[in-house]
Amino acid sequence: MKSRKVLLFWCVVLGLIVIMTAFAGLFSTHAPNDMDMDKIYVPPGENHLLGTDHLGRDVFSRLLEGGKVTLTVAGVSVFLSLVIGVLYGGISGYVGGYVDVVMMRFLEALITIPSLILILAFQAFMQGGMWSMALIIGITGWLVTARIVRSEFIRLKEAEFVKMAIMFGTPVWKIIFGHMLRNSVPAIFVVTLFNFAGAVFIEVSLSFLGIGVPPAIPSWGNMLYYAQNDILIGAWWIGLFPGIMIFITILSINFIGEALKDPGRRRLNA
Amino acid sequence: MSVKWFGKRMVMGTIVLLVISFLSFFIMHLAPGDPATAFYGGNAQTLNTAEKERISRAFSLDRPVIEQYGLWLKEILQGNLGYSSKEGRPVTVILLERLPNTLLLFGVTLFFIIIGSLWLGTVAGMQKGSLWDKGLSTISIATSSIPSFWLGILFISFFSVKLGILPSSGTGEVGGDGGILDKLRHLIMPAAVIILTHTGIYARFLQESIKAETSKYYVMVAKANGVLEREIRKGVLRNASIPYLNYIGMTIPSFFGGSIIVESLFSWAGLGQLLVKAVMMKDFPLIMGGILFTGLLVVFSLFIIDLVMYAVDPKLRKGAYSR
């Protein structure tokens, strides 16, 4: 029962972050891009909850707005990689045979390449807005999903109820969607959750390197990018808070994923 | 049996490298604008049509794509990665200059991560249900959730800005004033950041795999027959280390990815920092070379891990896994 409470706690934390950032306009005290040159590098205090940055912008409001950007990029990219992963893994697992061997060898080769390097290469000529970022992260992040879907499909193909369904002459699409895909949902959900954490990590890393989301749009990574210089003059609050937000977000996702991964919890053990 | 196994690994490695070369070539080929412009970057506006045509011919850009790829691959196999479009020097030379720094950082961090995770994982895994066991499970998740570069920023703000005892950036020259000590001083922070954020998750993996191993039947039988605890421990650790090694192999690519960011943060003059700079300057030959080189490094380190696994796992030697 204890682990259930832990799970609930982290779900609430993540939910709070998502709600706070999604409705950033309601919670923020200033407009995220409002500059006030008289009040640069104001430490956290009354008027500015978490201080201001090098252009006198309110860190708290930018934190919420930045979270919206970061989580949106991560969400869209994860959805994209989910679709690609399910298609690739599903085909590989369902068809089997030589198709499976070839597809899996190709996948193994792709997994060997550090995905960040692939993304860097794409970024070299696609430096656009946040949507192109989401696209790039999505089309490089489906590998693990495909692997999981494939192994689930192979496992389920041998399950008795699927064999029975085939025997009864159930249409193929019904077997694929109704029997196999539906029963892989728990596993797919967990891997997607971890993917989401990974996508947040990548967006933050790229923006931090200065080659991610354009500087005009606030994101957690962008804020950290500028914090590199601010920290040298002692403005610690600009770098500290976005990092804490990233940390808590990824932490809660990891704990939720860990709790769900527990095989005893899995409804289906075919 | 072993020859066949090694052969298989070699073929797989070659396929991986081919795919990487294919990708790095075609990603660059997909780049918008004509290739001559891409290769010349910002200076391309000053070229007139005749000059562009001459360049296209000189670089065989007027041939079909597949043929271009073939020609490119042939040059690469001879060690010619082309010339950096910003520095004008051969890409191979630039990459080789950076290689020692990356290998140093990679080697040092991996060494300490393995030592640390072996120790923590064994201690926690052997004492099931103890404080160590539960503590490690939680702490490892927590440490692996910290973005390494953010920890780096905090470190800089504390050790460099506040205390002023460690340099915030640079690589240090062994031949310079400070000698080897200077290099070590520069190495401490980047290495510490990577080690702190990675050790936990590896330790946890080993811990889980030891726990799974100790609950197996053979351990119970060994205990019942009065085999020495020390002997059982040795056997369990050996068997548990195989999935652990596999896990290290699996995570090496993302490990390389993570070190890119840490290298850039600390201006550590390694391959990762070079690659990021090349992307920002749109230095395409350097990007392609860098991707290939990193791929080569990954394949090589995977091969080393395979060798270690081969030495540890007798089943592999007897060919039990061959399909």
Chain A residues inside the 8 Å CB shell of B294: 114, 117
- Do B128 and B121 meet the contact criterion of CB atoms below 8 Å apart? no
Amino acid at A176: I
Asked if B260's CB is within 8 angstroms of A116's CB, the reply is: yes
- Say which residue, B105 or A40, is predicted with more confidence: B105
Residue A56 falls within a domain, yes or no? Answer: no
Which residues from chain A sit within 8 angstroms of residue B275, using beta carbons?
Answer: 117, 120
Q: Is residue B59 part of a domain?
A: no
CB of A225 within 8 Å of any CB in chain B? no
- Asked if residue A33 belongs to a domain, the reply is no
Structure-token pair, residue A227: 């914090």
A102-112 burial string, b = 16+ CB within 10 Å, else e?
Answer: ebbeebebbbb
Residue B33 lies in a domain: no
Name the domain count of chain A: 1
Residue A113 sits in a domain whose CATH number is: 1.10.3720.10
Domain that includes residue B242, residue range: 91-282
Please give the Cα distance from B173 to A64 (Å, whole number): 43
In a domain, B25, yes or no: no
Report the Cα–Cα distance between both ends of chain A, in Å, rounded: 25
Q: What is the C-alpha separation between A77 and A199, in angstroms, rounded?
A: 7
Q: Tens-of-pLDDT digits for all 323 residues of chain B?
A: 567 777 877 887 888 888 888 877 877 777 665 556 656 655 666 667 777 777 777 666 667 777 778 888 888 888 777 777 777 788 888 888 888 888 888 889 999 999 999 888 888 888 877 788 888 888 888 888 888 888 888 888 788 777 777 777 776 666 555 567 777 888 888 889 999 888 888 998 888 888 888 888 888 888 888 888 888 888 888 888 888 888 888 888 888 888 888 888 888 888 888 888 888 877 778 888 888 888 888 888 888 888 888 888 777 676 655 44
- Cβ <8 Å between A243 and B275: no
- pLDDT above 80 (res A92): yes
Strand-pair partners of A58: A52
Cβ neighbours for B151, distance < 8 A, ≥ 6 positions apart: B193, B196, B197
The answer to whether the beta carbons of residues A68 and A127 sit under 8 Å apart is: no
Q: What is the CATH number of the domain that holds B233?
A: 1.10.3720.10
**Domain assignment present for A254:** yes
A193 vs A29: which has the higher pLDDT: A193
Residue A182 maps to a domain = yes
Q: Report the SS3 class of residue A193.
A: helix
Mean pLDDT over residues A196-207, rounded? 88
Beta carbons of B287 and B19 less than 8 angstroms apart: no
| Domain interval for residue A128 | 73-265
C-alpha A217/C-alpha B321 separation (Å) is 52
Supply the mean pLDDT for chain A: 82
Q: Total structural domains in chain B?
A: 1
Least Cα separation, residue A29 to chain B (angstroms): 26
CA distances from B297 to B124, B174, B248, B263 (A): 32, 24, 15, 16
Predicted pLDDT at A77: 93
Q: What is the pLDDT of residue B81?
A: 76
Any CB–CB contact under 8 A between A236 and chain B?
yes
Say if residues A42 and A235 touch (Cβ distance below 8 Å). Answer: no
A124 touches chain B (CB under 8 A): yes
Q: What is the pLDDT of residues A115-174, one digit of tens each?
A: 887 787 777 777 667 788 888 889 888 988 998 999 888 888 888 888 888 888 888 888
Q: How far apart are CA A144 and CA B226, in angstroms?
A: 44
Q: Is residue B200 part of a domain?
A: yes
Q: What is the pLDDT of residue B85?
A: 72
Residue B317: which residues within 8 A CB-CB, separation 6 or more? B1, B2, B310
Please report whether residue A50 resides in a domain: no
Mean pLDDT of A77-98: 91
Query: Is A199 part of any domain?
Result: yes
Per-residue pLDDT reduced to its tens digit, A4-13: 788 888 889 8
Whole-angstrom distance, CA of residue A106 vs CA of residue A117: 18
pLDDT recorded at residue B43: 63
Q: Is residue A23 part of a domain?
A: no
pLDDT of residue B111: 92
